[in-house]
């Protein structure tokens, strides 16, 4: 009985939940209605994790709970993503995505080939680096 109790205690101690990313308020949709500028958005939620580079400027905020239970796989739940379309200092459109709206993406096994990549073996790498680095203390 003591061994079972000890095992259960160890499993319970190994369980923990960490929040990753932003902690969104429960009334996120209501708060977004009142926000009209990027300054108000940054004051209310903070800086975005990602800003798009090409196309429409979109600010992306993401948050999730990471649950670890001993030897079991890590589980992510309560995922939320906030997408904000921005034009200048004005907010054009917002969209909130929850668990059901987000697709599960699985990583492909193996490696992706890089076009025109030069593959060198260990000796070629070693001789390729000769003369590339200056001795310590001599500067550039």
Q: Is residue 128 part of a domain?
A: no
- Residue 127 within a domain: no
The radius of gyration computed from the CA coordinates of the chain, to the nearest angstrom, equals 24
Does 137 fall in a domain? no
φ, ψ at 130 (rounded to 5°): -65, 130
50 touches 86 (CB < 8 A): no
- Model confidence over 91-106: pLDDT tens digits? 899 888 887 887 877 8
Which residues make Cβ contacts (< 8 Å) with residue 80, sequence separation at least 6?
A: 22, 24, 28, 62, 63, 64, 96, 97, 98, 99
Strand ranges inside 24-74, DSSP E: 50-51, 57-69
* 7 domain-assigned: no
Closest CA to 63 of 98, 27, 94: 98
Query: Do the domain assignments include residue 8?
Result: no
Lookup: tokens for 95: 């969209």
49: left (phi over 0), alpha (psi -120 to 50) or beta: alpha
Domain assignment present for 10:
no
What is the number of structural domains in the chain? 1
* Structural domain contains residue 97: yes
Tell me if 131 is assigned to some domain.
no
- Mind listing the pLDDT tens digit of every residue in the chain (140 residues)? 888 877 776 666 667 888 888 888 888 888 888 889 989 988 888 899 989 888 889 999 988 888 877 777 778 777 788 888 999 889 899 888 887 887 877 878 887 777 877 788 888 888 877 777 766 666 55
Task: Quote the CA–CA distance of 108 and 93 in Å, as a whole number.
Answer: 33
Residue 47, domain extent: 19-101
């Amino acid at each position: 009985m003591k061994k079972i109790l000890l095992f259960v205690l160890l499993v319970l101690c190994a369980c923990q939940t960490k929040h990753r990313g932003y902690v969104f308020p429960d009334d996120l949709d209501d708060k977004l209605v009142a926000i009209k500028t990027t300054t108000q958005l940054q004051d209310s939620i903070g800086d975005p994790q990602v800003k798009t580079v090409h196309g429409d400027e979109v600010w992306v905020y993401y948050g999730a709970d990471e649950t670890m239970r001993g030897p079991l796989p890590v589980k992510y739940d309560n995922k939320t993503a906030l997408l904000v379309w921005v034009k200048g200092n004005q907010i054009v459109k917002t969209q909130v995505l929850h668990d059901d709206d987000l697709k599960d993406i699985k990583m492909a096994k193996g490696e992706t080939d890089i076009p025109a990549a030069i593959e060198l073996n260990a000796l070629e790498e070693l001789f390729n680096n000769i003369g590339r680095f200056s001795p310590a203390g001599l500067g550039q």
